[in-house]
Chains A and B, each alone.
Chain A
């Protein structure tokens, strides 16, 4: 058994091709000057290279055959000069190419990353981390290979080719035509291989992404794998993915080898043809001896760029497959982005400002009106949910697990979009507000705290200046400073990936302090004290009492004791609001809340 379609990245089947290259050239645009210089360097470089055999021919025909020593040193001097010129041009060329290539890769990575920042939360529910990391790193690296192999020099190679063809034709028309007779075969083979190679490379890239997705998950869940003794099975699954990646690569190698060998063979066959045909010409006196030697040399020079091209051919096809994936991600925007933020257009670059008070006047009324929402299909998680929260109120959401409480909080900050109905701030649909303006009003303590690698202080402030100035105060309010001060480096203590070097409660306190440090107008607490002990919870409640004063808050809690200060309590059951009222009212009603309450405090 294997885990079927879960680790199967979709393979981009679209035939992008010509548009692909055009689009890629767009990324060269900022460096067009350098590209032009690179291209301009090519003719002198080619000339320097091409002139060398010609000098050799002169040396043989005019000096060596005629036994004329003088003039030969001069020729040698020229030869040296040409070598020097070729070296300098090559240096400049290689360097420029790498420069442009690296810059383009830099830009592409940045574009991809920025694009990912614009993706809605739902995108991440479905896209494995490892596969995204692969797109931003390995897929872009493949393009680097293309630059290192010198795609721009392809232009140069082609120029050299044209030059050589010209000279050869000029030197001897018939001989040249005979030589070129081998070319059509080559072209035909190259075209036939292209489609298959591309397809194979698509497989290669997709399978690598799958492999990395699986790997990333395994690393995250290693404790579970080991606790459940599942190493053998995980290894088995990994082997399957690994082997399928390997097997996708093997045919490419064979085609590549065939193409390479073909070019090489053809170049020697061409020499054979020259000897055959040219030999006859010499015997008839129709060709000078030097010309034949030069011709053979030209053939070698002629095939060397073709050989280069064929060696680069598979790299190019690989790069094209990678480009498809890159552009495919960049195109993912449509239909899946956070929808229109009619107020602002693109919401890519939110202003750094976070402070609650500065987003305009405070919101008087938050209204959920007949909100329907499904994560997928018509499997509704919220069904006609209504709720009004007035400024300064604390509203508690309680209810059975899986009832949709977290979903309500997510919709409020538009991590997901309401499907039917609306959420409005003072009558304005939140979809009309710029995303950042909306989100910077809200401070959320997520149910699953996430900590970054970096210092504790960074984890509270997330690098925001205003939040940083409030970090210690915030930590104090939620009672986190007690343990932070105990750490060897205090607020500077390094947090490791996901906060593994802290206890779960400590992580939650830091995530709580984060919300407080951003001083939001609306505070959303999703099970914010689920992992802390009673004493810490009391501290938090005391600290928060002052903070919540005049602040609108939405509190989700299973422990009813934590919501005793709420102005109103809303009971959600399977996506519907069942009851609403104050603690006393709900108890008096003897409904769902009453039953929950009885259970928790039975004695």
Chain B
């Protein structure tokens, strides 16, 4: 915005130029009319003035083009810039923000709210400048003809401004509401589209339409409120100008009759007054734009001013390559400021190159625990250390660069499979991609697709099967060649044969990497150096497979149950 000051100045100057021409024309007309009224006193022929008028008109047109393109292009550039800033901000924001906000709402801010702001910066600014110039010039010229008549003619204007001001305050409120309703509507659509399969499988189409109708009505309602206000504004403003003309007609007319005003002056005066009317009408529209723009800007600011809780360290520790020693020190964590923490007092040191398994019932906090290592959610200082350095002091890119993470829910981008697997590495070459896919037992599937690695997957990877998605996500993490590998229930969607294959090829890959595997299937954890059992956010058991079996606790019970089932089936 600030950097565009020059552009706006230029645009303003152009407007000044084009408006000067516009103002010059009635003056020429005045001269022409006077010349016609008193032909013998006239210095020039009417055609002389006519030519001047045409010349001024041409000049006006040319400068007009410049003024409009300058200002409106600037608005588009500001929109571009703002959108860039908004997106950059999103990239900086953390998961707590995204779990609070709805996608449809953010989308609405990026398109509808931004449009309002752009309108304000373009047409709004243009018309404000225009109006101001015309007002000042017209009033100046009117004053030159007759100060007292001018004073009378503009009596209605301050009154109008007062009234309009009252209206615009409530316009701001209503605009904001309307934008919020639009965002809700857009969220509903976004959700409906994302849930297409559920909606169809459960025949919820009608219910969804009804819900949509509700949002739609509320948006309609808030827009109607705006319309009523606008309905008021326009005639009020238009009448103001006309009343001015009326005053001039009576007062000015009587002066012409009395001889204290020439007819030419009277006509010119009327001309200037007429010039005021158009911008005054536009003023109503600008006010509307301004209020809408301001309301929308405040919604954009909500994003621009959002504070990430996961931030770059203020004094980053200088780390080169992380070895992968992970230490939890009395780690206690909760998502919101809940009364009972979700993870309580977890203390543990994992030496580099160790394999750690994490088991525990649904909702016990396994995913939460591993999510904290790459700081997807904020951790308090002094609770998690990597290579002895507090994670909050490691630059984010360095920290995350050292971690390969397979989230519990596989998210793929709607790009090619190759692009997805190579996502973590700049310009990964096809060989690397294929190697990673092979490690994740995914290669065979990919090669069966007609386009191989070039196959496009749908949004979130919808055109792949559950197991394919999961293996793509594993391959993506492996290709990164991280020193810490975190796998959150990585084999939940694959069959026994594939699981076996993956576990086998991975055991060759692990090497001296630190590995954390979360799994419900204990068979996948057997080989781990250390297995943690979480329950309600606490480590209730830990040890290696044999040790835990010997302990005869929960792990042992689950293990035996899983074995027992196998036995039963064997019968």
* B61:A254 contact, CB within 8 angstroms: no
Q: Determine the distance from Cα of A124 to Cα of B489 in the docked complex, in whole angstroms.
A: 28
Interfacial residues of chain B within 450-493, with CB under 8 A of chain A in the complex: 450, 456, 458-460, 462-468, 471, 476, 480, 489, 492-493
Whether, in the assembled complex, B200 has its beta carbon less than 8 Å from a beta carbon of chain A, the answer is yes
CB distance from B419 to the nearest CB of A (A): 7
B contact residues around A94 at 8 Å (CB): 227, 230-231, 234-235
A56-B270, A224-B411, A379-B450 are known; give 6 further A-B pairs, CB within 8 A: A99-B227, A103-B220, A109-B216, A219-B98, A401-B498, A558-B493
**A503 close to B367 (CB less than 8 A):** yes
Residues of A within 8 A of B409 (CB): 448, 504
Q: Which of A101-118 contact B (CB under 8 A)?
A: 102-103, 105-106, 109-110, 113-114, 116-118
The verdict on A114 contacting B209 (CB below 8 Å), with A220-B460, A444-B201 known, is yes
Q: Which of B172-220 contact A (CB under 8 A)?
A: 182, 185-187, 189-209, 211-213, 216-217, 219-220
- How far does the Cβ of A301 sit from chain B's closest Cβ, in whole Å? 10
The smallest beta-carbon distance between A166 and chain B, in angstroms, is 22
Q: How far is the CB of A476 from chain B (nearest CB, A)?
A: 15
- With a cutoff of 8 Å between Cβ atoms, the chain B residues found around residue A226 in the complex are 91, 94, 376, 396, 400
Residues of B within 8 A of A536 (CB): 361-362
Would you list which residues of chain A between 201 and 216 have a CB under 8 Å from chain B? 208, 211-212, 215-216
Contacts known (A138-B111, A212-B111, A235-B91); A64 close to B100, Cβ less than 8 A = no
Cβ contact of A533, chosen from B95, B254, B360, cutoff 8 A = B360
Q: Is the CB of A268 within 8 A of B239?
A: no
Query: Do B207 and A464 touch (CB < 8 A)?
Result: yes
- With a cutoff of 8 Å between Cβ atoms, the chain B residues found around residue A271 in the complex are 25, 29, 53, 57
Complex interface residues of chain A between 562 and 603 (CB less than 8 A to chain B): 564, 583, 587, 595-597, 599-601, 603
Q: With A3-B419, A113-B189 given, is the CB distance from A439 to B200 under 8 Å? A: yes
Given contacts A91-B234, A110-B216, contact A406 B465 (CB under 8 A): yes
Q: A52-B242, A117-B205, A217-B413 are in contact. Are A261 and B62 (CB under 8 A)?
A: yes
7 A-B contact pairs sorted by A residue (CB < 8 Å):
A60-B266, A94-B231, A117-B209, A223-B95, A503-B363, A535-B558, A601-B566
Most B CB atoms within 10 A — which of A121, A271, A440? Answer: A271
Q: Nearest-CB distance from A25 to chain B (Å)?
A: 21
The answer on a CB contact under 8 Å between B376 and A239 is no
The segment from A12-20, A28-36, A155-163, A288-296 that touches chain B is A288-296
Q: Which of B2-10, B101-109, B162-170, B508-516 contacts A (4 or more CB under 8 A)?
A: B101-109
- Does B432 make an interface contact (CB < 8 A)? no
Given contacts A275-B46, A352-B206, contact A90 B111 (CB under 8 A): no
With contacts defined as CB atoms under 8 Å apart, how many contacts are there between chain A and chain B in the complex? 528
Nearest Cβ on chain B to A265's Cβ, whole angstroms: 3
Contacts of B330 in A (CB 8 A): none
A64 adjacent to B256 (CB under 8 Å): yes
Closest A residue, CB atoms, query B70 = A257
Give the interface segment out of A168-176, A192-200, A492-500: A492-500
Which B residues are in CB contact (< 8 Å) with A110?
209, 212-213, 216
Known: A98-B230, A129-B193, A253-B76. Contact between A215 and B110, CB under 8 A?
yes
In the assembled complex, which residues on chain A have CB atoms less than 8 Å from the CB atom of B224? 98-99, 102
Residues of B within 8 A of A98 (CB): 223-224, 226-227, 230-231
Give chain B residues whose Cβ lies under 8 Å from the Cβ of A558.
467, 493-496, 499
In the complex, B161 has a CB within 8 A of chain A: no
Q: Is the CB of B243 within 8 A of A83?
A: yes
- Given contacts A138-B112, A219-B106, A226-B400, whether A496 and B99 have CB atoms under 8 Å apart is yes
Residues of A within 8 A of B100 (CB): 496
Q: Are B467 and A221 in contact (CB under 8 A)?
A: no
B57 adjacent to A265 (CB under 8 Å): yes
Tell me the complex Cα distance, A468–B75, Å.
Answer: 51
- Say if the beta carbon of A552 comes within 8 Å of chain B: no
* Given A400-B497, A536-B362, A559-B521: A272 and B53 interface contact (C-beta under 8 Å): yes
- Cβ contacts B286-317/A at 8 Å (1 or 0 each): 00000000000000000000000000000000
Measured CB to CB, the closest approach of chain A to B215, in angstroms, equals 9
Confirm or deny: A134 has a beta carbon within 8 angstroms of a beta carbon on chain B: yes
B82-90, B137-145, B543-551 - interface stretch: B82-90
Q: Is the CB of B200 within 8 A of A275?
A: no
Q: Which residues of B contact A413 (CB under 8 A)?
A: 200-201
* Per-position binary interface string of chain A over residues 252-279, scored 1 when its CB falls under 8 Å from any chain B CB and 0 otherwise: 0110111011101111110111011011
CB-based nearest B residue for A459: B198
Do most interface residues of chain A lie in helix, strand or loop, or is the interface mixed? helix
CA distance A272 to B28 in the complex (A): 10
B414 located at the interface, meaning its Cβ lies under 8 Å from any Cβ of chain A in the complex? yes
Q: Roughly how many angstroms separate A406 CA and B456 CA in the complex, as a whole number?
A: 20
Candidates A220, A439, A596; contact of B103 at CB < 8 Å:
A220
Which chain A residues numbered 364 to 382 have a C-beta less than 8 Å away from chain B? 375, 377, 379
Docked-complex contact A453 and B220, CB < 8 angstroms = no
What separation, in Å, do the CA atoms of A175 and B28 have in the docked complex?
20
Contact B467 A401 (CB under 8 A): yes
Contact B204 A462 (CB under 8 A): yes
- Residues in A neighbouring B41, C-beta threshold 8 A: none
User: Which stretch, B32-40, B344-352, B380-388, touches the partner chain A?
Assistant: B32-40
Asked if B466 contacts A264 (CB within 8 A), the reply is: no
**Which residues in A have their C-beta under 8 angstroms from that of B219?**
106
Q: How far is the CA of A46 from the CA of B463 in the complex (A)?
A: 60
Write out the residue numbers on chain B whose beta carbons fall within 8 Å of the beta carbon of A246. 76-77, 79-80
Take A64-B257, A401-B495, A561-B562 as given contacts and tell me if A6 and B456 are in contact as well, using a CB distance cutoff of 8 Å.
yes
Residue of A nearest to B196 (CB): A124
Contact with B along A313-340 (1 / 0, CB 8 A): 0000000000000000000000000000
CA distance A95 to B226 in the complex (A): 10
CB-nearest residue of chain B to A296: B29
Closest to B274 in A: A300
Contact check: which of A230, A448, A498 meets B424 at CB < 8 Å?
A230
A229 touches B400 (CB 8 A): yes
Binds A, one of B146-154, B245-253, B319-327: B245-253
Min CB gap B556→A, angstroms: 12
Q: Is A361 part of the contact surface with B, judged by Cβ < 8 Å?
A: no
Beyond A63-B253, A401-B495, A503-B367, whether A257 also contacts B220 by CB under 8 A is no
Q: Which of B51, B92, B239, B450 has the most CB of A within 10 A?
A: B239
Least CB distance, B338 to chain A, in whole angstroms: 8
User: Contact at B65–A64, with CB atoms within 8 Å?
Assistant: no
Q: Which of A103, A268, A348 has the most CB of B within 10 A?
A: A268
Instruction: Please indicate the chain B residues that have their CB under 8 angstroms from the CB of A3 in the complex.
Output: 415, 419
Interface residue? B133 (CB, 8 A)? no
Taking the closest CB of chain A, its distance from the CB of B151, in whole angstroms, is: 19
Which of A63, A127, A272, A304 meets B257, CB within 8 Å? A63
**Contact present for B190 and A129 (CB under 8 Å):** yes
CA distance A103 to B219 in the complex (A): 11
Is A24's CB within 8 Å of the partner chain B?
no
Q: Which residue of B lies closest to A219 (CB)?
A: B103
Q: Are A133 and B104 in contact (CB under 8 A)?
A: yes
Taken residue by residue from 128 to 146, chain A's Cβ proximity to chain B (1 for < 8 Å, 0 otherwise) reads as: 1110111011100100100
A157 to chain B, nearest CB (A): 14
Q: Which residues in B have their C-beta under 8 angstroms from that of A503?
A: 362-363, 367-368
Q: How far is the CB of B22 from the nearest CB of chain A, in Å? A: 8
Query: Which of A84, A230, A453 is the one whose CB lies under 8 Å from B102?
Result: A453
